[in-house]
Structure 1
Amino acid sequence: MENNIFHLQYAIDTFYFLVCGALVMWMAAGFAMLESGLVRAKNTTEILTKNVALYAIACIMYMVCGYAIMYGGNIFLSGMGDIDVAGVLGDFAGREDGFEGGSIYSGASDFFFQVVFVATAMSIVSGAVAERMKLWAFLIFAIFMTGFIYPMEGSWTWGGAAVLGMYSLGDLGFSDFAGSGIVHMAGAAAALAGVLLLGARKGKYGANGEIRAFPGANLPLATLGTFILWMGWFGFNGGSVLKLGDISNAHAVAMVFLNTNTAAAGGAVAALITARLMFGKADLTMLLNGALAGLVVITAEPSTPSALTATLFGALGGILVVFSIVTLDKLRIDDPVGAISVHGTCGLLGLLLVPATNGDVSLTGQIIGAITIFVWVFVVSLIVWGILKAVMGLRVSEEDEYEGVDLSECGMEAYPEFVSGKQ
């Protein structure tokens, strides 16, 4: 009877992991739609190309070396092979938690769930450097980001390794449930490093301090992308419970889904109201980024807040993201889709809010963890971006930027009739 329960729990938890991983993979489509909707029509094909290519690169690099750096072992060389049922049963039988509370699932499902997180971190970079970066410089950076930079900071956090052999973030009381800092702030740090070396789009900022808006080409597509991301986030946070097959964890999953949803709602409404008060209009792009900001904030700890608290946390993110986007523009840091604000500023906020509902987490530990993640990713990314700039250049020519990188980088237009007037 006990063995039958084990088999059932193993199957349920593995299947749940795979379904949640598929939901997170679907977020790649959300990023592609959101970013292609918020850039100008002449740059659509190139950003779609980046989003598909970076996902493929992330899958390969994390298999080749990223997973081994982050957790040990090497899937690329050893494969998963046949499962030793007797061995797993023996290990599980000796655990004090028994069937209630323990996580048991296929190692292959764990890899699949982890690899889609890597791709998410890299997708954040794509939107921030849009409309003026060379495609191949971006893709080469993706190799380093997904194969080394992200896995290394992941080894210090989720992997439990000491930071450069010096200190353990876990011992300091650091916690990041599903990756507000580990995934989102890390992606934003890499993006910020690239944007600082890349510079702003031509004409974005005037000589007298003017800030010119570059409207996105397809707001319905951006809205669809936001809803896809919202949906995929249930897998992002829900799967991070790591288990479904018992009563306590099934309830935890339900609470995570509930809090994830309500935080997004709180962020959307708060951003909409904030934009109305600041600009006098209901700004759709701020509404979309507000929903995403709420999702990023709650990602650090979606299991311990009440639904009302999660809504308030999301609302704080929605307010913060509007001010962050405006502030970065004033600083002439050109981020076409608001990725640095959504994932970076709000990722930090999410980390800092964790101790408010989780007494086992230290605010000092959260601050040290956030600094560790940001400094590592930003500095190493700056080095990689700098080498790429010296060797091949990061930015397309002024003429190519004016004409649109679709033609110069990809040789085709997403909206040929609309952009060029061709029949």
Structure 2
Amino acid sequence: MMEQSAPTLASLQAMIEMSDTINMEIFYWFCTGLMVIIHVGFLAYEMGASRLKNALASGVKNILAFAFMVPTFFFIGWWIYLSMYNGFVPDFEAGAAGLPWSENMGPNLSDNASGIFWGAFVLFAATTASIFSGAVIERIRMSSFLVLAVLLGSVVWILAASWGWHPTGWLTTEWGYHDFGAAGAVHMVAGFFALGVLLNLGARIGRFGPKGEVNTIVGHSVPMSMIGLMLIVVGFFGFLGGCIIYMPGAQWTSIFGNETTLSAISFNTLMAIAGGIIGAYVMTRQPFWMLSGAIAGIVASAPGLDLYYPPLAFLIAFIGGAVAPMVDKILSSRFKLDDPVGAFGVHGASGVVGLLMLGVFSGFPNVVEGAPNISFMGQLQSAVVMALVGFIPGYFVSLVLAKFGLLRVPPKAEMAGLDIVEVPLQAYPESVPAYNGKDDSGVSVGKTA
């Protein structure tokens, strides 16, 4: 009987390294799975915020945005991220790994990282589309929504991410930009993109009266929206996990290269959730806004979740949770913009708060060699870039669609309900009718200040 030889140091080292690689792969695998819960949340959130006659159409938008995002991000998005970090002139050598025919873009036993990182970024892309989706429910054409969602998720946000959420992105190397949780690249870009589209899409019929009155249009299920919002909060743990880099044999780092820990992210994320809820509660007392405030709180504290002392994360989240409903009220009462779920307030405005607050509480060194330290001016300038990257394409592409009559459904279709026109299927065929004819506008309750 042959004796089994003892493992060599080289074989033991190889086993340890492979174990580290597999652990890294497993971590991002489950982060991606948790991020899918975000889209379960958005699905319930937006369906609940829609009237019965539009409930399924709002849900279908989210499903199709997810489905269209995956192949378009495979063919376009990942290459943009890898190659466009210097601006609009691509680095073709760096982008080669993201080309659809690259060995990195498919089964490859020597590459355990590309697919798992690509998967996480696809879910970030889908999140931008879902943020935008809530702002335009109940009146946008499905086809135009999908065009805009793919533009946002597979081109616009990933360009912003390449500039400011990339280890050598020019916003970081030139201005010292720091944004651990993508408050700028994901949330601000999506929020300002939605704002640009809203300017051309217009309000739902009946949202504003002939004398400028602001009428409340209530979704058919506030509890469903609340459950959806809570699921989004759960999914954020996967989202934020995807923002931290697993370094086999070493400490975790942020995407910018500074060392951090999951413990730090845990402290600050939970404090941010609580701060956002309390901030929104103080301002509104509304359960819908309390849970929206939780998201706004996470977004506002996201840039420095890897750096903050937990009470500071709580304070910044409190501000974000308080600001979001105020901004939404200003948009509706003063500018007559109809954002049914407060997407701009929760994501766009809170993203601005987050980037600027990290600048206010600045002085943190930047680990990127040669880059300036984190500063208020660097964060402010970067916030302006993120806002413009989102707003400009959202506004001008939707303007073109509107000019050709492709952006919005006809008034008769809007009155009948998009479930009948776009799906077609009734959400609750055995219960109350989708539209009860209370008035010609479809407004379900009275006026609000």
The reply on whether 1:24 has 2:28 as its aligned counterpart is: no
Structure 2: segments with no counterpart, 5+ residues = 1-11, 83-94, 254-259, 366-373, 436-449
Counterpart amino acid of 1:82?
A: N
Distance, in Å, in 2 between the alignment partners of 1:244 and 1:416 is 53
Counterpart amino acid of 2:127?
A: T
Q: CA deviation at 1:48?
A: 0.5
- Say whether the 8 Å CA contact 1:28–1:51 is kept in structure 2: yes
Distance, in Å, in 1 between the alignment partners of 2:273 and 2:297 is 4
User: Which of 37, 41, 47 lines up with 2:52 in the alignment?
Assistant: 41
Q: CA deviation at 1:207?
A: 2.4
Distance, in Å, in 2 between the alignment partners of 1:292 and 1:113 is 19
Q: What is the TM-score with the length of structure 2 in the denominator?
A: 0.83
Q: CA deviation at 1:345?
A: 0.1
Q: Which residue of 2 aligns with 1:84?
A: 110
Q: Which residue of 2 aligns with 1:136?
A: 143
Counterpart amino acid of 2:263?
A: A
Q: CA deviation at 1:55?
A: 0.6
Cα deviation per residue 1:318-346 (whole Å; 9 max; x = unaligned)?
11112111111112111000011000000
The reply on whether 1:212 has 2:223 as its aligned counterpart is: no
User: Which of 329, 334, 338 lines up with 2:338 in the alignment?
Assistant: 334
Q: Which residue of 1 aligns with 2:420?
A: 407
| 1:215 counterpart SS class | coil
Counterpart amino acid of 1:77?
A: W
The reply on whether 1:111 has 2:113 as its aligned counterpart is: no
Q: Which residue of 1 aligns with 2:429?
A: 416
Taking the TM superposition and a 5 Å limit, the aligned residue runs for 1:21-420 are: 21-71=32-82, 72=95, 73-74=97-98, 76-78=100-102, 79-84=105-110, 106-159=113-166, 168-243=171-246, 248-249=251-252, 252-275=261-284, 282-330=285-333, 331-355=335-359, 356=361, 359-360=364-365, 361-420=374-433
Counterpart amino acid of 1:364?
A: M
- Say whether the 8 Å CA contact 2:200–2:398 is kept in structure 1: yes
| 2:193 counterpart SS class | helix
- Say whether the 8 Å CA contact 1:304–1:358 is kept in structure 2: no
Counterpart amino acid of 1:129?
A: V
- Say whether the 8 Å CA contact 2:188–2:390 is kept in structure 1: no
Q: What is the TM-score with the length of structure 1 in the denominator?
A: 0.88
Q: Which residue of 1 aligns with 2:89?
A: none
- Say whether the 8 Å CA contact 1:16–1:244 is kept in structure 2: no
1:246/1:323 Cα in 2 relative to 1: closer, same or farther (>3 Å)?
Answer: farther
Distance, in Å, in 2 between the alignment partners of 1:245 and 1:231 is 26
| 1:316 counterpart SS class | helix
Counterpart amino acid of 1:261?
A: L
Task: From the two aligned structures, give the one with the greater helix fraction.
Answer: 1
| 2:101 counterpart SS class | helix
Q: CA deviation at 1:245?
A: 5.0
The number of equivalent residue pairs is: 393
Distance, in Å, in 2 between the alignment partners of 1:364 and 1:357 is 10
Distance, in Å, in 1 between the alignment partners of 2:200 and 2:48 is 25
Q: CA deviation at 1:392?
A: 4.3
Distance, in Å, in 2 between the alignment partners of 1:256 and 1:421 is 44
